[in-house]
Structure 1
Amino acid sequence: MLELRRIRKSYPTPQGLLPVLQGVDLRLAAGESLALMGESGSGKSTLLHLAAGLDTPDDGEVRLDDQPLSALDEPARARLRRERLGLVFQQYHLVPSLTAADNLRLQARLAGREDAAWSRELLERLGLAGMAGRYPEQLSGGQQQRLAIGRALAARPALLLADEPTGNLDENSADEVLALLLALVRDRGCALLMVTHSPRVAAPLDRCLRLRHGRIAEASL
């Protein structure tokens, strides 16, 4: 489903180029869940942005469904994200003028896969059923995060990329959200790549990798 080959990425600083990723290789199969751990600044979020086609590597290749993203122009990458990917990043990016229910349905509409019954089930399982008519400013930070996760799941993506998706949730809510993410992987054959700093959150996933000094290694929890 997802393959990163010899990925290198650096960023300019006043002191010169700062290497972040130095020859990263990663493979993720359909139906597989993978946790990516590492210290702050190790390049975890950079790797997710590259996997989503939101940024381009300095060297190496990102392939989705065996298709190189470098062969696509930006409109084609945007269409791929809309139709095949679910994205959960640390910023919620909710539309303030839409209710919770409409925010959740937005991605599914864009992908042409709106399913009212599935949207209602997501709201219920995320503990938001009684807040469907509220606007984002009327929700707590944790509720907004759950809504952002639900929006990513609404279109039943083939690949879900999640950056600390349970970071603002209490343990019980985090467990419920994680169970929902893993159920989608199991039931729909979706692949999940999740960045987390928590060994507890990473433990239920199929595999765990750790980024250190710009390179990837298997991690033990």
Structure 2
Amino acid sequence: MLELHQVHKTYATPQGPLRVLDNVSLRLAAGQSLALMGESGSGKSTLLHLAAGLDLPDQGIITLEGQNVASLPEPTRAKLRREQLGLVFQQFHLVPSLTVIDNLRLQARLAKRDDAEWSDYLIERLGLKGLEKRYPEQLSGGQQQRLAIGRALAPRPPLLLADEPTGNLDETTAGEVLELLLSLVHETQCALLIVTHSPQVAAPLDRCLRLSHGHLLEAPL
């Protein structure tokens, strides 16, 4: 599903070059879940952005469904993201001018996979029944993040990438959102890569890797 092979990424800083990823390799199989942990600034989000084709490696190969992401022009990478990826971020990135139901179905419509029956089911599972005509600002933080998860899963992508998806939520709400996320991922059978600093978020997943000084290390769950 997703493979990174000997990936390097360096950023220029006022103090000189900063190597964030150093010869990083990983494989994520279809239907598998993987937590990526590490301290702030360790390169977790950078790796996720590279996997999504939002950034490009300095060296190395990144393949998604057998396609070398870095070799594709940006319009093709954007098409690949629409059709193959679901993205969930710490910031909800909902469209403020769209209602709940239109936000939910936005990604599916862009991917030409809009399914009204599936959307209605998601609304029910997300606990948003009766709120379809509200706008994001009228929802709580937990409701907004559940909506963002539903939007990402509405096209039934084969791969879901999540960057600190519970980072903006209180502990109780975070636990509820994580449980819902993992349940829907199981239902859709998509692969899942979560970037997190939380052992509680990582614990239910199949595998855990830790980024440290640019290197990936296997971490016990």
The normalised TM-score by structure 1 is: 0.95
SS at match of 1:41: coil
The number of equivalent residue pairs is 221
Unaligned runs of 5+ in 1: none
Q: Is the 8 A contact 2:211 2:217 kept in 1?
A: yes
Q: Is the 8 A contact 1:166 1:178 kept in 2?
A: yes
Residues 82-116 of structure 1, C-alpha deviations (whole Å, 9 max, x = no match): 00100011222211110011001000111111111
User: What displacement does 1:172 show?
Assistant: 4.3
Amino acid at match of 2:71: A
Residues 116-151 of structure 1, C-alpha deviations (whole Å, 9 max, x = no match): 122122222222223211111222223222211111
Aligned partners of 1:206 and 1:190: how far apart in 2?
A: 13
User: What displacement does 1:161 show?
Assistant: 0.2
Trace 1:1-221 onto structure 2 (pairs within 5 A). 1-221=1-221
Q: Is the 8 A contact 1:33 1:182 kept in 2?
A: no
Q: Is the 8 A contact 1:86 1:161 kept in 2?
A: yes
Q: Is the 8 A contact 1:32 1:185 kept in 2?
A: no
Aligned partners of 2:14 and 2:201: how far apart in 1?
A: 36
Using the aligned pairs only, state the percent identity. 74
User: What displacement does 1:171 show?
Assistant: 4.0
Aligned partners of 1:207 and 1:140: how far apart in 2?
A: 31
Residues 147-183 of structure 1, C-alpha deviations (whole Å, 9 max, x = no match): 1111101111110000011223344443343233333
- Comparing 189-198 with 40-49, which one deviates more in the overlay? 189-198
Q: Is the 8 A contact 1:145 1:168 kept in 2?
A: no
Unaligned runs of 5+ in 2: none
